[in-house]
Structure 1
Amino acid sequence: MEKCRFHEVKVSAPSKVILFGEHAVVYGMTAVAASLDLRTRMRIKPHKSRILVNFPDVGLKESWSPEQLKTLFQHKPNTEILDVNYVYLDLIHNFLKTESSDLRMASVICFLYLYSLIMDEVGIVPMEILVESEIPLGAGLGSSAALSVCLSAGLIGVLHQVQGYEKSIFEYTSSSIQKEVCGFAFLSEKILHGTPSGIDNSISTYGGMCRFEKGNLEPVRLERNLRILLINTNTFRNTKDLVERVGEKRVKYPDIVKPILESIHAISEQFLTSIQEYNQDLNEKKFYKILEDLMDTNQSLLTGLGVSHPTLDDVCRTLKKLGIVGKLTGAGGGGFALAVLPPSISGKTVLVAKDLLETKGYTCYQADIGVNGYVIEVVK
């Protein structure tokens, strides 16, 4: 392959959903999260002369000449330390003539930062990047992490081709390559969110399900995919305000709130125990009955904390009339609810549920959880 040429790269990465542990996780207790088969997809193709990014989901298209980027990239930080260099980040903001608060440009900022680090060894390689996503933006499902993982894996895929790696990202899913993808994606998440937990980019990189406690991620073996129905209440919520509200209640009424949080933690742990039993020989019907009980109880506890919302309550009531158990996911106060769909439930019942919910102004998504992390291929 001639220098600085490569074949088209296709990469996708999943979003994430929190199943159990909302708000308790803030206080060092257990949460359970899983990859969600709503994916961000990216294509990277060679370009004759420019570096072009196209994000149609947010109506954004930008391009630069290698000469323009060469001047900017002279100031890039040392690649040995994967942490945000805020001086360099400010230079990127100035280069793009955008404020740090401009969320629409955030994806481009992350692209330029990662491009300058990952492609450092081979210089500026002209390319065209197209990104499309099935993940609702800003809804707490890890849309930014999925983009960050796609950028990281996709650019590494280009680098491996240009350098002629025999053990490239396309043929080898080694832990070292996954760790590299996850590391650059985490850097991108820091640029976007300041101090992220790392749970979103880890789930999007590795896929599957994980136990998360005190900043530590532990993979959870899941023998069978679980199907869920996700319901967007289309009600705006402020995660920071909701977390602060629970914190204030915890200080004001410790004897009431702490036991609620501990019960939420216990639900997460019971779910993990049930998953282990289900992987072995637990009867499917019994497993889903336990799961429904845990979800129902968890929703009641979250309501007791004051983080539910009339729309979330309405979703749960509507589902319950059809024999489906739902709960909020994420911070609450609006946002998303989820319901696990047992294999025994009929397709007709699911359609009826979706019709009823969408008639009320909600948006429904049906997806598998515990799916693969990033998937990458070279198109020849």
Structure 2
Amino acid sequence: TKSEMKQGFGSSGAVVVATLGALNEFFQTGINKEKIYNLGCKTIWEVQGYGSGIDIAAATYGGIVKFLKGEIPEKVEFKDFPIVVGNTGFKAKSKPIIESVQVFEKKYPEVFESIYDNIGQLTKRALQAFKENDLETLGELMNINHGFLYALGVSSEILEKLVFASRKAGALGAKLSGAGIGDNMIALASPGSEKKIAEAIREAGGEPTVARIDEGLKIEEVK
């Protein structure tokens, strides 16, 4: 079969969550989003054998989510988060990317630990920026985060082209998204700059999508 869903958008997780939501509604089991999230994670792990669960969290809860593996996702309040997604055009397989990072960790344990800790600190600061609706700081943190991910070896030539094209077009920040190597990058747009950034991504060889944050799992009745 051939899917029209774009690569790297967490479509597997979205399908799992939508299916669980539909079954919950049909059979009136009354389970809440936390239970759907847990069931979704178990389903993905059984099928794929790996995964952080972040795609399941995003599809279930929507919005901006504070995510730590092993903990229940936490919704983060925000005013606006105008992003442009740039698709590289090819699907990156997560498992070999994860394995390459593990090789890096074993070869340079001190360096890896430092990068990992710094990414954690960036995330905490980004959480504060979200709460304060400080898009400029958030963009700067995205750029720094991308630098760390590049150092871990999970970027690629096409991702770098799209990231730097976005920044040149006025993005407040831009970074790779997901496992890296392929799939997508995201750019944080200043108000009104989305179209310019999207065109820059297209000219750099990517497929842009101007996106807005959605609400996650919801039930709609189709008559």
TM-score, normalised via structure 2 length: 0.87
2:129 matched to 1:274?
yes
What pairs with 1:1-380 in structure 2 (closer than 5 Å)? 58=3, 135-137=5-7, 139=8, 141-160=9-28, 176-276=31-131, 278=132, 287-324=134-171, 325-343=173-191, 346=192, 349-369=193-213, 371-380=214-223
Percent identity between matched residues is 26
- Structure 2: which amino acid aligns with 1:359? E
Higher strand share: 1
Return the alpha-carbon distance in structure 2 between the equivalents of residues 200 and 301 of structure 1. 22
Runs of 4+ in 1 over 6 A off after TM superposition: none
Match of 1:259, SS state, is: helix
Aligned mates of 1:256, 1:358 — CA distance in 2:
35
How far residue 214 of structure 1 moved from its aligned partner, in angstroms, is 4.0
Shift of 1:322: 1.7
RMSD (CA atoms): 2.4
Cα pair 1:199 1:217 within 8 Å, conserved: no
Distance in 2 between the 1:235 and 1:182 partners?
Answer: 28
Q: Alpha-carbon deviation of 1:143? A: 0.6
Deviation, 1:213, is 2.4
Judge conservation of contact 1:149–1:185 (CA < 8 Å) in 2.
Answer: yes
Q: Is the contact made by 1:205 and 1:374 (CA closer than 8 Å) also made in structure 2?
A: yes
Q: Is the 8 A contact 2:34 2:72 kept in 1?
A: no
Q: Deviations over 1:195-216 (max 9, x none)?
A: 4433322331222322222421
Q: Distance in 2 between matches of 1:339 and 1:216?
A: 27
Q: What secondary structure, in the 3-state scheme, does the structure 1 residue paired with 2:124 have?
A: helix
In 1: Cα distance, 2:195 partner to 2:220 partner: 34
Cα offset, 1:365, TM superposition: 1.0
* 2:57–2:73 contact (8 Å) kept in structure 1: no
Structure 1 unaligned spans of 5+ = 1-54, 59-132, 161-167, 170-175, 279-283
Tell which structure's C-alpha radius of gyration is larger. 1
Determine which structure has the larger helix proportion and give its number: 2
Superposed CA deviations along residues 47-96 of structure 1, whole A, max 9, x for unmatched, are xxxxxxxx8x53xxxxxxxxxxxxxxxxxxxxxxxxxxxxxxxxxxxxxx
Contact 1:208/1:219 (CA < 8 Å) preserved in 2?
A: no
Q: Which residue does the alignment assign to 1:165? A: none
Q: Per-residue displacement from partner, 1:245-265 (whole Å, max 9, x unpaired)? A: 222122212232221121111
**1:267-321: CA deviations, max 9, x gaps?**
1111112223x1xxxxx5xx12211110111111111222211111111221122
Stretches of structure 2 lacking an aligned partner (at least 5 in a row): none
For the 8 Å contact 1:210–1:217, the answer to whether it is kept is no
- Count of aligned residue pairs for this structure pair: 222
Deviation at 1:338, TM superposition (A): 0.3
1-structure distance, mates of 2:63, 2:139: 21
Task: Give, as a single letter, the amino acid of the residue that structure 1 aligns with 2:100.
Answer: R
Length-normalised TM-score, structure 1: 0.53
Give the aligned partner of residue 3 of structure 1. none
Whole-angstrom distance in 1 between the partners of 2:175 and 2:57: 24
User: What is the CA deviation profile of residues 23-70 of structure 1, one whole-angstrom value per residue up to 9, with x for unaligned ones?
Assistant: xxxxxxxxxxxxxxxxxxxxxxxxxxxxxxxx8x53xxxxxxxxxxxx
Structure 2: how far apart are the matches of 1:180 and 1:374?
Answer: 13
